[in-house]
């Protein structure tokens, strides 16, 4: 099922709608470490957790670790801390699957929050597809800062760093680089929902969309504060 | 941090406290409407969100509403990635943040333990 905002009361930029369509298509494809069915179920359980704090009674396909990640990252990210992470990874879930699940949940939340903002019904998730995860791990990924392995910035990250995030980038972009396709998806959304990655750190940059840069940053800051996010 | 240096920001640093929920002028056009929308979209009160949406439509138009929804969507995504991976603030951002951490009261956040 393709996502569409054509019936929305308000006109949505075509580039933004297409970015969300690409996200929905990527959810339904096999991932790097998760199957298509797992990706969709993780996003679905995260949506449930966010809206009423519960999970489906018998979600048959998800491991306990994936379920817990869906519930906490989707529904209560304020509660995340190192102790919780260490209880999940690697005891209940490999770090590769964890990073992919975080990317899937975070990106799918984008669509839900956007739809909520416009007063739209949340779109149905796409149908899952056959196929196996590729299980390709970046060779340079290692734990340097943060809890999960990431492709290092600069020379140490080499061609992988260049290919995945342009060689040098902020920690929040590198954070998902253990699963490069999740970074690709994140950068796509960043550009169409906020500002193109290369222009983010220039506060004088203005897009020609509906908000000034100051209005954009005020809203971004308040959303982050309401989520108790220091970063 | 990016707000303070951005075009269209015309307030003192104390105005940044509005980001942390303080009742003060934002120094940004339609700032109060934007803050009310941010709060409403994070809550489950549909009527509150409908009211906030209408104020945005009145002040910023349909394009403004779409952008507010998109930016809120984006940062709902980013906070989950930052919180879930325990990443620290990048050194250049940390030095930019130092002067305004007290104003924003962000050291009190649970995630500050991961980030600083």
- Quote ipTM for the complex: 0.95
The per-residue pLDDT for B58 is: 98
pLDDT of B12 over the 70 cut: no
Q: Can you give the residue ranges of every domain in chain A?
A: 11-134
Query: Each residue of A178-197: pLDDT tens digit?
Result: 999 999 999 999 999 999 88
pLDDT above 90 as % of chain B: 50
Contacts of B111 in chain A (CB under 8 A): 78, 80, 228-231
Mutate to test the interface with B, among A5, A50, A219, A225 (most CBs of B within 10 A): A219
Q: What are A175's two structure tokens?
A: 């954070």
Q: How far apart are CA A142 and CA A157, in angstroms?
A: 10
Query: Each residue of A30-48: pLDDT tens digit?
Result: 999 999 999 999 999 999 9
A10-19, B19-28, B45-54: segment of lowest average pLDDT: B19-28
Contacts of B42 in chain A (CB under 8 A): 223, 226-227
Q: Name the residue in chain B with its Cα closest to that of A112.
A: B73
Interchain CB distance below 8 Å, B66 and A10: yes
**CB neighbour list of residue A153: distance below 8 Å, 6 or more residues apart:** A161, A167, A168, A169, A174
pLDDT of A107 over the 90 cut: yes
Contacts of A74 in chain B (CB under 8 A): 80
Mean pLDDT of B12-33: 82
Q: How far apart are CA A76 and CA A54, in angstroms?
A: 11
Q: How far apart are CA A142 and CA A22, in angstroms?
A: 29
Interchain CB distance below 8 Å, A203 and B71: no
Mean pLDDT of A77-87: 95
Interchain CB distance below 8 Å, A221 and B19: yes
The DSSP output letter for B89 is P
pLDDT of B100 over the 90 cut: no
Residue A142: strand pairing partners: A150
Q: End-to-end CA distance of chain A, in Å?
A: 35
Interchain CB distance below 8 Å, B8 and A230: no
- CA nearest A224: which of B56, B105, B46, B26? B105
**CB neighbour list of residue A91: distance below 8 Å, 6 or more residues apart:** A65
Interchain CB distance below 8 Å, A77 and B75: no
User: If you count residue pairs, one on A and one on B, with CB atoms under 8 Å apart, how many are there?
Assistant: 275
> pTM for this one?
0.91
Mutate to test the interface with A, among B61, B74, B109 (most CBs of A within 10 A): B74
Mutate to test the interface with A, among B35, B48, B58, B80 (most CBs of A within 10 A): B80
The per-residue pLDDT for A74 is: 95
Interchain CB distance below 8 Å, B80 and A105: yes
pLDDT of B36 over the 60 cut: yes
Interchain CB distance below 8 Å, B6 and A213: yes
Q: What's the Cα-to-Cα distance from B113 to each of A14, A81, A230, B86, rounded to whole Å?
A: 40, 8, 9, 9
The per-residue pLDDT for A205 is: 82
Mean pLDDT of A70-84: 94
Mean pLDDT of B41-65: 97
pLDDT of B80 over the 90 cut: yes
- CA nearest B33: which of B57, B5, B12? B57
A8-12, A168-172, A225-229, B49-53: segment of lowest average pLDDT: A225-229
pLDDT of A64 over the 90 cut: yes
Q: Can you give the residue ranges of every domain in chain B?
A: 13-115
**Residue A204 — very low, low, confident or very high, per pLDDT cuts 50/70/90?**
confident
Interchain CB distance below 8 Å, A226 and B80: no
pLDDT above 90 as % of chain A: 82
Contacts of B98 in chain A (CB under 8 A): none
Residue A150: strand pairing partners: A142
**Do you find a cis peptide bond into A90, omega within 30 degrees of 0?**
yes
SS (H, E, C) chain A: CCCCCCCCCCCCCHHHHHHHHHHHHHHHCCCCCCCHHHHHHHHHHHHHHHHHCCCCCCCCCCCHHHHHHHHHHHHCHHHCCHHHHHHHCCCCCCHHHHHHHHHHHHHHHHHHHHHHHHCCCCCCCCCCCCCCCCCCCCCCCECCCCCCCECCCHHHCHHHHHHHHCCCCCHHHHCCCCCHHHHHHHHHHHHHHCCCHHHCCCCCCCCCCCCCHHHHHHHHHHHHHHCCCCC
pLDDT of B7 over the 60 cut: no
């Amino acid at each position: 099922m393709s996502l569409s905002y054509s019936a929305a009361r308000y006109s949505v930029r075509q580039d933004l709608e297409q970015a969300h369509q690409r996200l929905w298509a990527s959810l339904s494809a096999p991932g790097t470490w998760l199957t298509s069915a797992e990706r969709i179920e993780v996003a679905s359980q995260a949506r449930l957790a966010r809206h009423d704090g519960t999970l489906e009674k018998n979600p048959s396909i998800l491991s306990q670790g994936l379920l817990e990640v869906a519930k906490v990252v989707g529904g209560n990210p304020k509660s995340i801390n190192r102790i919780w992470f260490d209880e999940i990874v690697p005891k209940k879930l490999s770090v590769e699957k964890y990073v992919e699940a975080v990317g899937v949940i975070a990106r799918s939340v984008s669509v839900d929050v956007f739809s909520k903002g416009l007063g739209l019904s949340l779109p149905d998730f796409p149908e899952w597809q056959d196929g196996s995860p590729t299980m390709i791990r970046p060779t340079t990924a290692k734990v340097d800062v943060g809890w999960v392995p990431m492709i290092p910035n600069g020379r140490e990250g080499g061609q992988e760093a260049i290919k995945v995030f342009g060689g040098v980038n902020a920690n929040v972009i590198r954070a998902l680089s253990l699963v490069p396709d999740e970074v690709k998806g994140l950068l796509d959304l960043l550009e169409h929902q906020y500002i193109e990655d290369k222009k983010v750190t220039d506060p004088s940059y203005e897009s020609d969309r509906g908000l000034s840069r100051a209005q954009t940053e005020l809203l971004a800051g308040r959303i982050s504060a309401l989520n108790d996010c220091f970063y | 941090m990016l707000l303070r240096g951005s075009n269209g920001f015309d307030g003192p640093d104390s105005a940044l406290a509005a980001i942390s929920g303080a009742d003060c002028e934002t120094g940004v056009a339609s700032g109060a409407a934007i803050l009310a929308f941010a709060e409403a979209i994070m809550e489950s009160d549909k009527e509150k969100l409908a009211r906030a949406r209408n104020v945005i439509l009145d002040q910023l138009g349909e394009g403004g509403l779409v952008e507010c929804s998109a930016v809120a969507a984006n940062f709902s995504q980013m906070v989950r990635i930052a919180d879930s991976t325990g990443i620290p603030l990048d050194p250049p951002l940390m030095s930019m943040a130092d002067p305004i951490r007290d104003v924003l009261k962000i050291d009190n956040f649970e995630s500050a333990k991961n980030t600083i």
